[in-house]
Amino acid sequence: MVDAACHSISTDDFSLVVEITADNDLVWRHWGAKLTGPLFALAGTQTRTTFSLDHEVPMGVVPTSGFGWFGPPAFRCHRGGKHAGQRVKVHSVAISATTFEAVLSDESCGIEIIVTIAPQGGCLRIATRLRNVGTTPLSVEDLAAAILPLPPHAEAIVSFSGRHNGEMVEHCEPMPAQGWYREQRAGLTGHGGPPGLFVLGEGADWHHGEVWAAQLAWSGNHRLAVEPVGAGGWAGLLGASYGPGEIILAPGDTLSAPEVLACYSGHGRNGAIRCFHDAVRANRRSPGAFLKPRPVHFNSWEGAYFDHDEARMIALVESAATLGVERFVLDDGWFRGRASDEAGLGDWVADPLRYPRGLGPVAQRVNDLGMEFGLWVEPEMVNPDSDLYRQHPDWVLGATEVRPLPLARHQLVLDMARDDVRDHLFGALSTLLRDVPIAYLKWDHNRALAPASGADGRGSATAQVRGTWALWDRLRAAFPQVEMEACAAGGGRIDAGFAARADRFWTSDNIDAVSRTAIQRGFLHFMPPEMMGAHVGASPSHATGRTQSLDFRAIMALPGHFGIELAPDRLTADERERLAYWVARYKALRDWLHNGVTWLGEGSDGLQWQAHGAAQHFLLLVTRTQPSRNGREGPLRLPMLADAPHVVVRLLDQADRASGLGMDTMAGAEQSFPGRWLAAYGLPLPHLSGEGAALFEIVAST
């Protein structure tokens, strides 16, 4: 029977189907392959089980406990200890060509939930709001941003964990018998990367099979959970987590859960990655709504650390310019009292000792040499040894009666929920942006929130995120031409919430090119390459002490937003020449690396690859970070070329200490292959030694 109460919300590739039952419940029916045409209501088709209620309790879009749903509930709240909102029923539904919106309510408890589902790029964006329509305050302990249905044929969860200098480490675990959880409690996104996960269906790999993926657009504490539910499937939950008493809604107030980007792919992980990249790109607020070709950065941090003064910086600026750099970013160490990380945060004026003429002369020299000037700031933080703290010791997080407060990197966190704090920071940053020709702000955040409460002792981790976002939004609106980067001790704040505000993320303080292969693959699962800060660092690497050739360091940075972070005067003449070569290479390839599709894949014996561009014309980067067991590389299969009758392959670059081996036929010359052969048998590869990479251009005829 065709049921008008079934609604499909679809992108080009997949559908979410919901059903309004005869009892006015809003339930999930499908998250998967696109369904068009008549939809069939499933209510009443499920057999009852023993030891169950006498009525069917399918998985709701907003499942609530108390009336027969024993999976994770969509919210937990109470009104003075009495449970509120146990049974939300559909009150009204609004459906347009693209958007589905349902209002659910429990009138007796004074609760209203509004769920909106609409496409964003290749994803569906799910927004959930809870409104207190009662007459007394409502305490909310939990509000899931989304609880999504995962089918019984799901097989594995791919997720990421991390630490400073070791971001986005991938894990693949079987679907849980009991439950799977990832919870972040440090007050920011965390070094495990975006709050999100990929669920793989039977036999799914990079290119084939079913994959369900979702990420939360949130930059604070959060919870991801996967729990088995009745019918053999799982419930996948994503949500911000709130501290006790943190959310108390006055009558009429609304709590908005962070938005969720959800997608489904019938083409393996790469299909889901493509949906995420599309969705992030569709929501970006870049200057003029257009992300210009990503300029080559020079970042002063690892080249100078706190060793600043005008003459030294101008020398660094001049060296950077000779390498072809397009944007010079003056990192930490430029502001009042900042001779080390022990002082200065909060005082956002140039240090009078090291920059007696202000930042103007350095910025001017940067501009005169044809580069943009960028500046590092860490506005949410304050050192106790700063004028700001001496004037406003009450502006920091932490109940007034709790002293001393725990320091981290000698700093405390400002309470971003306070209007006076935000106004002060807006004023200080606006003055800088007006007085100095700053085209770019690198915005850092170098410690966890501990404690995460305001001066009155109320939990404020959530308000901290919202306050920071509000300040970003205000600055972006006031200075629309200034680009901004989100950084938190490397990649501690990479998420779709910041992706809607930032033009770039700093991926990791670990610039070791071997470490970066894994970190960057983690990043690319959620975010597009043009937002991935990727620098050529020094050798030995400051984070790991390992040495790598300059070519290998550069080729690994190439697909991201490329930059340099080292002391150029410590390079040999040959290294400088090679670096200038890679800068030019990046400029020639960036449009192509950045505006298209990304594919990730694996070859045999530890080989990894990634490709960027379009199916007919792309760049292929093949990398090895461990010596091979074999004398020769196995051929590399490229599934996306299966339908191309004719493919031309050109080896553009090799970065390998033992380069040239075994590649005589391909070096410098084009080779042609049938696409099917490349998909089924594979592309012959040069031998890659311990750490090596090869870059190919691939052109497929249709």
Positions touching ligand GLA (CB under 6 A) are: 301, 331-332, 376, 444, 446, 487, 489-490, 506, 509
Is the Cβ of residue 243 or residue 490 nearer to ligand GLA in the bound state? Answer: 490
Contacts (Cβ under 8 Å, ≥6 apart) of 290: none
CA 344 – CA 323 distance, rounded (Å): 32
Stated length of the chain: 702
Q: Which residue is nearest to ligand GLA (CB)?
A: 332
Determine the straight-line distance between the first and last CA of the chain, rounded to whole angstroms.
Answer: 43
**How many whole angstroms separate alpha carbon 487 and alpha carbon 167?**
12
Question: Looking at beta carbons only, is 444 or 653 nearer to ligand GLA?
Answer: 444
Give least dist CB 362 to ligand GLA, A: 17
Strand order in the sheet with 692-701: 597-602, 608-614, 617-624, 692-701, 646-656, 670-673
Question: Strand pairing partners for 15?
Answer: 10, 32
Instruction: In angstroms, give the least distance from the CB of 332 to ligand GLA.
Output: 3
Cβ burial of 131 (10 Å; 0-12, 13-18, 19+) is buried
Give the up-direction half-sphere exposure of residue 519: CA atoms within 13 A in the CB hemisphere.
Answer: 30
For ligand GLA, the closer of residues 59 and 502 by Cβ is 502
Which residues is 699 bridged to in the sheet?
Answer: 617, 648
Instruction: Provide, rounded to whole angstroms, the least separation between the CB of residue 375 and ligand GLA.
Output: 11
Catalytic residue (one of 347, 351, 415, 444): 444
**Distance in angstroms (rounded) separating the CA atoms of residues 393 and 404:** 12
Distances (CA, A) of 291 to 302, 486, 504, 524: 27, 16, 10, 18
Residue closer to ligand GLA by CB (options 25, 444) is: 444
* DSSP conformation class of 639: G
Nearer residue to ligand GLA within complex by CB, 79 or 447? 447
Which of 301, 472 has the CB closer to ligand GLA?
301
34: Cβ–Cβ under 8 A, 6 or more apart, which residues? Answer: 10, 11, 12, 13, 14, 15
Q: Which helix or strand (DSSP H or E) is residue 679 part of? A: helix 675-680
444 a catalytic residue: yes
C-alpha dist (Å) from residue 88 to 24, 26, 67, 176: 9, 9, 11, 29
Q: From CA 310, how far away is CA 306, in angstroms rounded?
A: 12
Give the nearest distance from C-beta 376 to ligand GLA in angstroms.
Answer: 5
Distance in Å, CB of 478 to ligand GLA, minimum? 24
The nearer residue to ligand GLA, 301 or 609, going by C-beta atoms, is 301
Report in angstroms how near the CB of residue 554 gets to ligand GLA at its nearest: 19
Considering beta carbons, is residue 7 or 297 the nearer one to ligand GLA? 297
Beta strands 381-382; 412-413: pairing state: antiparallel
What is the smallest separation between the CB atom of 687 and ligand GLA, expressed in angstroms? 35
Instruction: Extract the tokens encoding 187.
Output: 């007050």
Q: Residue 567 half-sphere exposure, CB side, CA atoms within 13 Å?
A: 12
385 is catalytic: no
**How far is Cα 312 from Cα 325, in angstroms, rounded to an integer?**
17
In the chain, helix, strand, coil percent, each to 5?
20, 35, 45
What is d(CA 402, CA 398) in angstroms, rounded to the nearest whole number? 7
Cβ-contact 608, 521 below 8 angstroms: yes
Q: 190 vs 490, which CB is nearer to ligand GLA?
A: 490
Catalytic residue, from 415, 509, 551, 653: name it.
509
Q: Is the dihedral of CA 431, 433, 436, 441 positive or negative?
A: positive
Closest contact distance (angstroms) between CB of 335 and ligand GLA is: 11
Say if CB 552 and CB 656 are below 8 A apart. Answer: yes
CB of 410 to ligand GLA, least distance (A): 11
**Least distance between ligand GLA and beta carbon 487 (Å):** 5
How far apart are CB 258 and ligand GLA at their closest, in Å?
Answer: 24
Distance, in Å, from the CA atom of 327 to the CA atom of 490, rounded to the nearest integer, reads 19
Could you tell me the CA-to-CA distances from 634 to 239, 441, 517, 653, 686 in Å, in that order? 43, 45, 20, 19, 10
Q: Which is nearer to ligand GLA, 198 or 472 (CB)?
A: 472
Comparing C-alpha atoms, which of 139, 122, 171, 99 is closest to residue 251? Answer: 139
Closer residue to ligand GLA, CB minimum distance, 103 or 487: 487
Distances (CA, A) of 54 to 58, 61, 68, 72, 379: 13, 21, 9, 21, 57
**The token pair that represents 318 in the structure block:** 């001049």
Residues known to be catalytic? 444, 509
